[in-house]
Structure 1
Amino acid sequence: MIARMMLAAVLLAGPAQAETVAIKAGRLIVDAAKPALGPSTVIVENGRIVAVQPIDRPIPAGVRVIDQSSRTVLPGLIDAHVHLTGQPDQPFWREATDSDEKAVAVGLYNARVTLKAGFTTVRDAGAPGIAGYAVRDAIRDGMFPGPRILAAGSALSIVGGHGDVSGFRPEVNAALSGSSVCTGAVECAAKVRRASQLGSDVIKITATGGVLSQQGRGLGQHFTDEEMKSIVDTAASLGLKVMAHAHGARGVEAAARAGVASIDHGTFADDAAVKVMAAKGSWYVPTLMALVGIEERLGKGVYTPVVEQKIRETLAVRGKALAAAVKAGVKIAYGTDSAVYAHGRNGEEGAEMVKYGGMTPRAVLVSATSGAAELLGVSSETGTIEPGKAADMIAVDGDPLTDARELAKVKWVMARGEVLE
């Protein structure tokens, strides 16, 4: 009994980090919005940054040195829309066969893959049951390597809409739907409170139809204006933000008007929708890698005919909403929708944002560091390299401020002071 209690105490305390480490950088990007520094040294102690200094300043004796002097060191990347417990190429009927316990195992595996790609913080946008919370907590407690996770748990959806299980016999649909569907402002408020009780870090709603669900109901608005306002207000009363899966223009506009923190996907957002996003301060998380994933699988028997039709509709307008949002001054946060494509390719989103959204590589890097940190509410912990923050850093060979493709070529990763081997 005593031995088990001691083991539990160690696990809850997390990994020991008493060592002082000096990371030598050939170039150092402390803040993506500012010019890079020349050769520099970052001093890390107990998992946190304690100093940033010129590389020629002496390093105290006994400090372990990590030499990245041939590379650019920059803040760890942030992906504001992942699904760690999901996998691409998985047929929809697996929802009826795979256990939540397996989802935890899949999530832990994909968390390490994501961290290796340079993403030291992620917002998990939906997982079955409490699997997403379990993955988050196991990594937080030092039991497995992975990024810092803000977990949404199960997304709130309307009955029969995107996020509600469909495509099976009625009794199977009912068994799998869980408790995340709601109708009316009162019931939706109750579901937000329930999500808070379960441990959600953010409330996810499916404000519109979705591409990969087994319904041919279009991609327009699902929740009513009243329901969305109730969700946002209730979440705010609990100190939580709301992220909205939204494709259709009017659904995007309604969600932004209700006060959601972010519009994720936003595929068909028009000028009117973008104007409301800008006015209300809603962030835009474009998830262009999702389009890469579905395009790669189109016509290969992965998706049902009804889903393939929706895929073609979304591919026809790829990136147009992002370009409009950038032009209108909407705040952009990096997010990819991993699980629609293979985990670990998160860094490829940057090049897509440049190609289709007209963003500069610097703006992309801001969106993947300090910008996403602001949206997620973790700016005091990460997003820039400065004393007092967690030691979340990565290194690349090139210059991500001039070439966004470098985000897909991460060579070295440190998360909360621990180097991923």
Structure 2
Amino acid sequence: MRKVLIAVASLLASTSPALADTVVIRAGSVLRDAASEPSGPATITVTDGKIVSVVPGSPAAPTGAREVDLSGKTVVPGLIDLHVHLTGDPGTDYRNEAVEPDEWGVVVGAKNALLTLRAGFTTVRDAGSAQYSGFSLRRGTAEGLIPGPRIVAAGPALSIVGGHGDTTGFREDVHSVLDQGYTCTGPVECAEKVRKASRAGADVIKITSTGGVLSQQGRGLEGHFSQAELESIMTTAHSLGLKVMAHAHGARGIESTVLAGVDTIEHGTFADEAALKAMKAKGTYMVPTLMALEGVRARLGKGVYTPTVEVKGRQAVEAAGKQVQRSKQLGVPVAFGTDAGVFEHGRNGEEFALLVKNGLTNREALASATTVAAKALGMEGELGQIAPGFSADLIAVDANPLVDIRTLEKVRWVMERGRIAP
């Protein structure tokens, strides 16, 4: 009997929970959030992916804890990019869509997820991908199978037939083969496609409310959906607990989308006073993606784009940045997003200097990628701050970003959900 009891005890010991994984970070300075000032030397304790404490000085570490020496660095909350396309790279010929399988997008996405993480972005909103590639990446980074940020994934965007987001530029028989089934006409069909996206696993609904710069449709950058269709999309998504992000360039397209109840406007390139007043009244966030137009600017006139895209690209580049200036003047919240994929992944941090160039303070720019972005996601109790109970999403930089915003372009160390980036 004694041998049996010993064997049982041994088995129970082998199956009992492992000791908590604790990491102690010795920081030269900690900037807890964008509204704070940097501290002096401080110690951040992380257990099982959550921040447990942030205390001054260098107290003794718990037994068995790993220690990280960042005594020469400023530790800042992990950054959030609300608009990326992990499965794509810039300058790709649109005809590749008819050649490359969706699985290739996961390979490209894994590469770009690591680049994005190393750039300091611990959470991203993937703003459009093939049916399951973005969702596969989301699972891979969540389970730690591939290094990358937390991914809030939209999957395929909803669009009108022949509009931005639909397959365009091919013969009709090719369109029918490439179509992923997310175009809609009329309120009933648009509601159905929102439900389809929800069923497939979308965390957020992405719609293309207006024409787009890089698609082959040549009818400008104004509104696409009818008001009834927009209202159907918003009502259905919100009833399912999903936020809606809208690609929108033209002013009237922005205004109609906002009046229908959208949560964030992506790009907002030609937003005028009427559109921005509607955004202010509705509490809609502006996600300006200025780096996207820098990516377009670098490729104009070089034979990269078709003539259709060249025309729209020049129009958009000329207006770049004005939406940030006007948003600040009218009190519209600006949240950080880059449209990485239109330019090279890993350069996301260059958006900060563009935001400052166009009127935000360093503090406002940092907030746009931390507390403001977290609120836009509905995750303000989990992300955007260094505080007990928050996810251990942390980065280390050489200087105080409130003084030198460009220090965020060269992130030296990253932790995402308690995992140190390779």
TM-score band (shorter)? Answer: over 0.9
Residue aligning to 2:414: 413
Q: Which residue of 94, 97, 100 maps to 1:95?
A: 97
Deviations 1:69-112 (A, max 9, x none): 11110000000000000111211100111101111111111111
Are the equivalent residues in 2 in contact too, given 1:29–1:73 (CA < 8 A)?
yes
Q: Which residue of 22, 25, 30 maps to 1:23?
A: 25
Deviations 1:98-129 (A, max 9, x none): 10111111111111110010000000000012
Residue aligning to 2:35: 33
SS at 1:316 equivalent: helix
Could you tell me how far 1:61 is from its partner in structure 2?
4.0
Residue aligning to 2:377: 376
SS at 2:355 equivalent: helix
- Name the CA distance, whole Å, in 2 between partners of 1:70 and 1:309: 48
Residue aligning to 2:171: 169
- Name the CA distance, whole Å, in 2 between partners of 1:174 and 1:59: 61
Residue aligning to 1:42: 44
Deviations 1:9-57 (A, max 9, x none): xxxxxxx993211111111011111222221110011111101001243
Residue aligning to 2:131: 129
Could you tell me how far 1:189 is from its partner in structure 2?
0.3
- Name the CA distance, whole Å, in 2 between partners of 1:186 and 1:402: 51
Are the equivalent residues in 2 in contact too, given 1:225–1:254 (CA < 8 A)?
yes
Residue aligning to 2:57: 55
Are the equivalent residues in 1 in contact too, given 2:207–2:245 (CA < 8 A)?
yes
Q: Structure 2 vs 1, CA of residues 411 and 232 (structure 1 numbering), >3 Å: closer, same or farther? A: same
Residue aligning to 2:273: 271
Residue aligning to 2:76: 74
Deviations 1:367-412 (A, max 9, x none): 1011101111222221101111111000000111122211111010
Are the equivalent residues in 2 in contact too, given 1:262–1:284 (CA < 8 A)?
yes
SS at 2:38 equivalent: coil
SS at 1:351 equivalent: helix
SS at 1:307 equivalent: helix
- Name the CA distance, whole Å, in 2 between partners of 1:344 and 1:135: 17
SS at 2:370 equivalent: helix
Residue aligning to 2:157: 155
Q: Which residue of 312, 315, 340 maps to 2:314?
A: 312
Residue aligning to 2:285: 283
Are the equivalent residues in 2 in contact too, given 1:202–1:240 (CA < 8 A)?
yes
- Pairing 1:125-274 to 2, within 5 Å after superposition: 125-274=127-276
Letter of the aligned partner of 2:263 in structure 1?
A
Are the equivalent residues in 2 in contact too, given 1:17–1:47 (CA < 8 A)?
no
- Name the CA distance, whole Å, in 2 between partners of 1:56 and 1:130: 46
Letter of the aligned partner of 1:233 in structure 2?
T
Scaled by the length of structure 2, what TM-score is found?
0.94
Scaled by the length of structure 1, what TM-score is found?
0.94
Residue aligning to 1:4: none
Letter of the aligned partner of 1:234 in structure 2?
T
5+ residue gaps, structure 1: 1-15
Tell me which structure has the larger Cα radius of gyration.
2
Deviations 1:230-287 (A, max 9, x none): 1000001100000000000000111111111100000000011000000000000000
Residue aligning to 1:397: 398
Deviations 1:133-165 (A, max 9, x none): 111111112211110000000000000111111
Are the equivalent residues in 1 in contact too, given 2:26–2:58 (CA < 8 A)?
no
Letter of the aligned partner of 2:421 in structure 1?
L
**More divergent stretch after superposition (375-384 vs 238-247):** 375-384
SS at 2:175 equivalent: helix
Residue aligning to 2:387: 386
Deviations 1:346-371 (A, max 9, x none): 0000001111x210011000010111
Are the equivalent residues in 2 in contact too, given 1:17–1:417 (CA < 8 A)?
no
Residue aligning to 1:362: 363
SS at 1:66 equivalent: strand
Deviations 1:317-353 (A, max 9, x none): 1101110001111111100000000000000000011
Are the equivalent residues in 1 in contact too, given 2:113–2:149 (CA < 8 A)?
yes
- Name the CA distance, whole Å, in 1 between partners of 2:68 and 2:180: 48
**Root mean square deviation of aligned Cα:** 1.1
Residue aligning to 1:108: 110
- Name the CA distance, whole Å, in 1 between partners of 2:318 and 2:260: 28
Letter of the aligned partner of 2:175 in structure 1?
N
Are the equivalent residues in 1 in contact too, given 2:86–2:126 (CA < 8 A)?
yes
- Name the CA distance, whole Å, in 2 between partners of 1:64 and 1:152: 36
Could you tell me how far 1:177 is from its partner in structure 2?
1.9
Q: Which residue of 312, 331, 334 maps to 1:332?
A: 334
Q: Structure 2 vs 1, CA of residues 329 and 304 (structure 1 numbering), >3 Å: closer, same or farther? A: same
Q: Report % sequence identity.
A: 57
Letter of the aligned partner of 2:137 in structure 1?
V
5+ residue gaps, structure 2: 1-17
